Chain A
Amino acid sequence: MQSKYNVLIIGGGPGGAMAGKAVAEAGLSCCIIEKRPAIGAPVRCAEGVGQEISELVDLDPKWISSKISGAQLVAPDGQILELNPEMAGNEVGYVLDRKIFDRELVWKAANAGCDVFVKARASSAIMKDGKVCGAIIETGGKTVEVFADIVIAADGVESKFSRWCGIDTTVPMAEIETCVQYLMTNLDIDPGMNAFYLGRDVAPEGYVWIFSKGKRTANVGIGISGKMCKDGKRPKDYLDAFIAEHLPNGKIIELMAGGVSACKPLECTVADGLIIVGDAARLSDPITGGGIINAMYTGKLAGEVAVESIATGDCSKQALMKYDAEWRCSKMGKGLKRNYQVKEIFLKLKDEKLNSIVKSVNKLDMEIFDTKYLIRELVKYNPWLLKDIGTLRRLLD
């Protein structure tokens, strides 16, 4: 490990890897430090992504566990809403194998010239006159100081690095989705379909997912709001009940827990000498919890902005604001903003109302599926939606 790099990246997830690749490809020195002994493991993710991931990376079939051609949404009363690609535009996707995927993304960064160290943990920030100048790193029983022109915090949901730089990254209790997932086998499922189950009794303020990992195998998991979580009613309790009812013959071959933020993004995702990306910046989708693509996109953008700023010799917050401004007005940024509002609406809905929505969606002409048409028709069948919720009116315009 050198004692000085142009860019130091904390965390070797998809966000950190994409940042490392972008910086190294521009010919600058950079280093990714990852505290775990292996990139990508253990997996803390349901691994579902939309096909737009191919805009960010050339997909390799080895990373893909399953190609998804449609999804089922199961309402609280058991009605099924089928979402097929014909009706949802191009929304096909994949279930990845992140043990392989994350590792290969880091390989891409390494091949471009980025240094990588595993079992190397940032334990605090080096600050000088309010500017971030590097990190203190614990590795192999030693404590070392590593300086950098810019540090990119890609340290995921824990997001401690930005905290050490004086930025409050706390996720409000009601806005953490607390999750448990099993990798299960011996399941009778359609390998090309993902399923989502909704309802207060199934998953309060969240959902249960079954994401196909190929033949007879799937990630079966649950996320519920932190507010709804307590002894006897933890995600694991709900998930075990769901499995007993729906997948009694399945066998569990892996267990993992996790947290996904469903809050607004950080108010500002840069500081002097610092850029924050992916989950660390609270950029996972407030409705679906998906954050892989957002981490990749912001990681890449952060790398590019870091390169430009270093070239001009200005790594101040003001110079790095370009990153913050650009992602906010991107498709991703706008989507996060809209979905946060939609989430607020859905949290208020009682199960009966959800049932009624699904029923009316099932009546729709799916040939002309687009969001505005969907909302207009929904309101036609469920006029209370407009009365209850002013925000929908705005989304209609």
Chain B
Amino acid sequence: MNAFFLILCPSLKEGLYFVMIIVFRMLVIKREVCGYCGACVSVCPEGALELVDTYLTVDPETCIECGICARICPLGALELKNAE
């Protein structure tokens, strides 16, 4: 899941319109910063990360964008980015 929907219905009474904001979040790997240590792999609750030798991969289908990996990365190589 790599999209997250926020649905606001400011005037349910009329039921005529609603505002839908779609926030796409995705995990970005800064390869030039990553030290391929595997710390992020060990904390990912979904098992979405994998180190292929020195190449970190994220499976966007399993990643729930919880941000734990980005939080603990010793070098700050991971970032959750928003795009609207």
Contacts and interface: CB of A to CB of B under 8 A. Distances in A.
Interface of A: 35-37, 44, 119, 121, 156-160, 163, 169-173, 176, 178-180, 226, 229-231, 234-236, 255-259, 261
A236 B43 contact: no
7 contacts: A44-B37, A160-B50, A176-B39, A180-B35, A180-B74, A226-B71, A229-B73
Contact of A170 (B43, B74, B75): B43
B59 to A, nearest CB: 12
Contacts of A230: 71
Contacts of A257: 35, 37, 39, 74-75
Contacts of A121: 52-53
Given A173-B72, A235-B74, A257-B37, A35 B42 contact: no
A145 B47 CA distance: 22
A178 B72 contact: yes
Interface of B: 35, 37-45, 47, 50-53, 68, 71-76
Nearest to B72: A226
- 5 tightest CB-CB pairs across the interface, nearest first? A259-B39, A257-B35, A226-B72, A257-B37, A158-B41
Contacts of A226: 43, 68, 71-72
A157 B36 CA distance: 12
Contacts of A179: 37, 39, 74
B74 A229 contact: yes
B49 to A, nearest CB: 8
A154 to B, nearest CB: 14
Contact of A259 (B42, B52, B53, B68): B42
A229 B37 contact: no
Contacts of A160: 41, 47, 50
Nearest to B79: A231
A173 B74 contact: no
Nearest to B45: A170
Given A35-B53, A36-B53, A170 B42 contact: yes
Nearest to A121: B52
B31 to A, nearest CB: 14
Given A156-B38, A173-B72, A35 B43 contact: no
Contacts of B35: 180, 255-257
A255 B35 CA distance: 8
Given A170-B43, A176-B43, A226-B43, A158 B38 contact: yes
A173 B50 CA distance: 17
B77 to A, nearest CB: 9
A393 to B, nearest CB: 33
Contact of A258 (B39, B43, B47, B50): B39
A176 B76 contact: no
A363 to B, nearest CB: 37
